[in-house]
Amino acid sequence: MTRVDGCTIEMLDTKTCNAFLTWVSGGNKKPEGAEGLGWLLAHCHDGVTWGRLGEDGLVWLVSSAVFPDLSPAISASNLLEMRLFGKGKEVLIWRSEAEFSGRCLSDDAGDPKGGDSPTRPDDETRILLGDRLLAGPKDGFSRVGTASGREQAVPLECTEQDFTGGRQPLRVRVRHYFEQDSQTGAVRVAASRLVDIFKEVR
């Protein structure tokens, strides 16, 4: 287990990574350490798949079930990297040769170094692809795209009004954690994770 100011990083063994993959792929057994996760982003050999945890807290709803022509089904054979994330933590799983490796990054409670520390965690909001609604919303997912033909199916219910005037309202929140060199004082990003996906309201 590793500690960085504001968070704890725990490495996950192959067995645990496979348990998360089985859960996401349709299993209804929640792995240990899955509390607090609500969103999913998977990069596969043949595309990107978004997901959200169902209201029962057990079954993942994924874009590949709603828009199968756009989003690939997540499986051990095609997964490259997957992030399961929520307000307080993220589980990251990636392909490492023939197996999967992973880590769980969890926020520490409180702010032990104070709000003015140069290594306090900092959130960044990034714009997601999509300036028009192409289909949906359907089962909680919306197919969005751009004039150049790029598309994705996000786990949000969007309307055409959200994109009025060519707006790009889709956002993902990223949290950065920092460390400081004890000799030079230089500060650098030590770890980053996804926190939330949302629509920016006008």
The residue that leads in pLDDT, 170 or 33, is 170
Q: Residues 91-115: pLDDT tens digits?
A: 999 998 889 999 999 998 765 555 6
Cβ atoms of 143 and 136 closer than 8 Å:
yes
Instruction: Give the chain's length.
Output: 202
6 within some domain: yes
Cβ atoms of 102 and 77 closer than 8 Å:
no
In a shared domain, residues 168 and 85: no
Give the per-residue pLDDT at 115.
65
In a shared domain, residues 98 and 126: no
117 within some domain: no
pLDDT at 187 over 90: no
In a shared domain, residues 142 and 98: no
In a shared domain, residues 76 and 133: no
In a shared domain, residues 96 and 132: no
In a shared domain, residues 91 and 175: no
In a shared domain, residues 103 and 158: no
Across 66-76, average pLDDT: 96
Across 167-184, average pLDDT: 91
Cβ atoms of 89 and 36 closer than 8 Å:
yes
pLDDT at 150 over 90: yes
In a shared domain, residues 63 and 131: no
CA end-to-end span of the chain, whole Å? 42
Q: Residues 163-173: pLDDT tens digits?
A: 999 899 999 99
Mean pLDDT of the chain: 92
Give the per-residue pLDDT at 48.
97
Give the per-residue pLDDT at 1.
80
In a shared domain, residues 88 and 133: no
- CA-nearest of 127, 180, 193, 174 to 154 is 127
pLDDT at 78 over 90: yes
- Domain region containing 18: 2-107
The dihedral over CA atoms of 157, 159, 165, 169, expressed in degrees to the nearest 10, equals -10
Instruction: Report how far residue 3's alpha carbon sits from residue 168's, in angstroms, rounded to the nearest whole number.
Output: 36
Tokens, residue 2: 């590793």
Give the per-residue pLDDT at 181.
81
The angle at the Cα of 151, spanning 193 to 37, to the nearest 5 degrees, equals: 30
114 within some domain: no
Tokens, residue 44: 């596969």
